[in-house]
Amino acid sequence: MKDNFDITTYRHVFIIFLTCLFWGSTNLLIAQQRTMEDQESSSLEVGFASSKITPDPMVNNWVTGKPYGKVRDSIYTRALVLRAGDQKVVLLHWELVDAGESATEQVRSAVADALEIPSDHIMVNASHNHSAPWAPVYDNAHRGLERDTWWAVRYMPPQHEEPPFKAWMDRLISQSVAAAAAADRAREPATAWVGRADVSRYLQNRRPRPVREGIAESHMPDNYNYRHPEWDPNVLSGNRTFGPLDRAMTLVSFRSPAGNMIGTLFHLSCHAVSVYPYTDALSGDWPGAATRAISEQLGGPSMFLQGTAGDINPWRRGAEAVQIMAKGLAGYAGRAYRYSAQLQPGKLHIDRTHVGLPLTDYGRERTGLQTLPAEIQAVRYGSLAIVTLPGEPMTGLGMAIKERSPFPQTLVLGYSNGNGVHYVGMPGEKARGGYEVGEKTNLGTDRAGLIMVEAAEDLLHKMYGETE
């Protein structure tokens, strides 16, 4: 009886052992499969490319209303394609004044067809380069009664039917598609790295805060700006205080598994207005020069992403300032690259949201709308997030979003995927007065900027909370 009991017990134990072994092996296989899937979904590939988009110099300069006349240096569209798992994202940059809603829709549609990806997987950013045209308007479907921006037709009628401009309208899209397709073909396995540099020596907030009490008199001239012979952007009278400034240039570099350079993004907030007051010719201004200098410094393609630069100017103007700034930024980029930190791999994901921005009385009159639709878009790779705002946001918006973002590496872009309400600041900016809050330059109410900040914050938190 005892022997039978022992044999039965051993059989039960053996069966339990086999069952545990089976389920353990199964769970191990499932875990290994999930690990392989996670590795595949976070295995990053990137590719860079660029194409010239310089228009015929007979195209009219929106600043003068007359033809540009000549090309000082070529302007480009640049593309970065990222792929991880089944996700593919395209970042396009134009060395133009803007990336309006109409042009954004046109290029998204064309690139989406060429690369066989959803159109909302494409992000379009402009350098806000004043020595190049505004992006063309291809239809009337986006901004109510406002087809062209006030600036684009301030000194001349619309030129969409003029042969040189019409040819350029087609070429802008075709060259953007060519750059995106070339970047897609150039994709290779990559790791992502981030470094930063303090480049505030080249930046100036052009909206100092007025001191309204306690000042008897000031010796600061009313015209104390870059045209004044004694102008120093680092000096103010006691009747003003310095406005906010994001001093960081962020360098995102992509390297092969062997550590070789593939390409870089560099991001900062600063108007592209160094050269345009001194020449009417076409030029990429300091962003174009800095892109070339950084490419030479690091030995691979480079691409600029413009930040929230509505109130930020270069510290100096003129052709010499362009070269000084380009050389200086390249030097900082080299050191930031050397000391960069590698990001842990993560999933690639892109998403967007839309808000209605409330308009001023003039804004409603100009557009015929009560609110203006605005797109906020974000792409993330692991702990890195790039989020866009339309129009010309002041630097306070970018700083607020970075502070509220759950992502430790957050880049905030302006001049992206539309013109929004043009200039836009945080609540209280309108009370300070100035060009950036004028009736024609700023179509949104005082809350418009905060609405975009909160929408960006919500979108980033949503994306951060999604399962890795």
Concatenated DSSP letters of 282-300: B--HHHHHHHHHHHHHHTS
Domain count, the chain: 3
Same domain, residue pair 137 and 273? yes
Same domain, residue pair 223 and 84? no
d(Cα 425, Cα 150) in Å, to the nearest integer? 19
d(Cα 292, Cα 283) in Å, to the nearest integer? 13
pLDDT the model gives residue 73? 98
Same domain, residue pair 128 and 217? no
* Residue 412 exposed, middle or buried by CB count within 10 Å (0-12, 13-18, 19+): buried
d(Cα 139, Cα 122) in Å, to the nearest integer? 20
Instruction: Using alpha carbons, select from 50, 155, 137 the residue that is nearest to residue 97.
Output: 137
Same domain, residue pair 430 and 400? yes
Handedness of CA 145, 151, 152, 154 (dihedral sign): positive
Q: To which residue do tokens 């953007």 refer?
A: 176
d(Cα 233, Cα 225) in Å, to the nearest integer? 8
Same domain, residue pair 31 and 172? no
d(Cα 317, Cα 220) in Å, to the nearest integer? 20
**Residue 214 structural domain:** 210-242
pLDDT the model gives residue 387? 99
User: What is the crossing angle of helices 285-298 and 319-338, to 10°?
Assistant: 40
Amino acid in position 462: K
Same domain, residue pair 156 and 24? no
Same domain, residue pair 7 and 82? no
d(Cα 372, Cα 120) in Å, to the nearest integer? 19
Same domain, residue pair 219 and 177? no
Splitting the chain (468 residues) into consecutive groups of 10 residues, what average pLDDT does each group show? 58 64 56 50 91 99 98 99 98 99 99 99 99 98 96 97 98 99 99 99 95 89 85 89 96 98 99 94 99 98 99 96 98 98 98 99 98 99 99 99 98 99 98 96 98 99 85
Same domain, residue pair 276 and 306? yes
Under DSSP, the state recorded for 60 is B
Same domain, residue pair 125 and 261? yes
> What does the block give as tokens for 460?
């980033």
pLDDT the model gives residue 222? 80
pLDDT the model gives residue 35? 45
pLDDT the model gives residue 444? 99
- Please report, in angstroms and rounded to a whole number, the separation of the first and last CA atoms in the chain: 58
Same domain, residue pair 193 and 117? yes
Same domain, residue pair 298 and 179? yes
Q: Long-range contact list for 254-262, CB < 8 A, 24+ apart?
A: 254/44, 254/46, 254/190, 254/191, 254/192, 254/193, 255/190, 255/191, 255/193, 256/188, 256/189, 256/190, 256/191, 257/189, 257/191, 261/298, 261/299, 261/300, 262/46, 262/48, 262/188, 262/190, 262/300
pLDDT the model gives residue 10? 64
d(Cα 435, Cα 244) in Å, to the nearest integer? 17
Q: Which of 184, 218, 242 is the last residue of a domain?
A: 242
